[in-house]
Chains A and B, each alone.
Chain A
């Protein structure tokens, strides 16, 4: 079973607030990801990281930032929350066997911006 954790699980916050969604994994995986998923829709990649001090932008990254100071920790920050940010945010990490990559997902954070 994967050991990847996300906090908070649920968050209701007002417009304009700065928020940080936490993600941590204890498996020592180098590669980590953040996805955004609206109900019934596909996952959209926001950011990913190949390892410590590495961050890359995905499809929907323009309104958020990430950092990767430690292998196990990959927080996502929204500088100014807006109602359009209301969604579910999923964190994942992956392990490689050669070119075979298996992703493990956290339980998600449901965000509601009023």
Chain B
């Protein structure tokens, strides 16, 4: 059974710092890996999607990498801002199978 682990569970950084969030998964037979953002009491917003054939995806200050063979992904946030404060969730799935989510990393960026 696929399990997704995210480290750290919580992170607090001063504004302007670059930071890395980590995600690991137990079954490397994935097809998609997605990073989501969730604000308190809200739904999820998809940030980046990496297919298994890809190594990384970039969107603005966000960069996600995937090492499928080792079961790892990282989300890099450059020049963090208070508006980046949220919970970041990693999820993986196989072909036409449901996403399996990690518990998330709760990020606080202090002005």
| Complex Cα–Cα for A102 and B43 (A) | 14
Minimum C-beta distance from A11 to chain B (A)? 14
B83 interface residue per 8 A CB criterion: no
Interface size on B, residues (CB 8 A): 25
Minimum C-beta distance from B71 to chain A (A)? 17
Within 8 A of A (CB), among B72-111: 89, 91, 93, 95-96, 98-99, 101-104, 106
| Complex Cα–Cα for A105 and B91 (A) | 14
Minimum C-beta distance from A12 to chain B (A)? 15
> Given that A90-B43, A90-B44, A108-B41 are known contacts, is A45 also in contact with B51, CB under 8 Å in the complex?
no
Residues of B within 8 A of A105 (CB): 36, 43-45
Residues on B lying within 8 angstroms of A by beta carbon are 4, 31-32, 34, 36, 41-46, 49, 51, 89, 91, 93, 95-96, 98-99, 101-104, 106
A75 interface residue per 8 A CB criterion: no
Contact (Cβ within 8 A) A33 B43: no
Residues on A lying within 8 angstroms of B by beta carbon are 6, 33, 40-43, 45, 48, 58, 88, 90, 92, 99-108, 110
Contact (Cβ within 8 A) A101 B103: no
Contact (Cβ within 8 A) B42 A108: yes
| Complex Cα–Cα for A100 and B51 (A) | 7
Contact (Cβ within 8 A) B49 A100: yes
| Complex Cα–Cα for A19 and B41 (A) | 21
28 contacts between A and B (CB under 8 A): A33-B98, A40-B104, A42-B101, A42-B102, A42-B103, A42-B104, A43-B89, A43-B91, A45-B98, A45-B99, A48-B98, A58-B98, A92-B43, A99-B31, A99-B32, A99-B51, A101-B32, A101-B93, A102-B34, A102-B46, A102-B49, A103-B34, A103-B46, A105-B43, A107-B42, A108-B41, A108-B43, A110-B41
| Complex Cα–Cα for A101 and B96 (A) | 8
| Complex Cα–Cα for A92 and B34 (A) | 14
| Complex Cα–Cα for A104 and B49 (A) | 12
Minimum C-beta distance from B99 to chain A (A)? 6
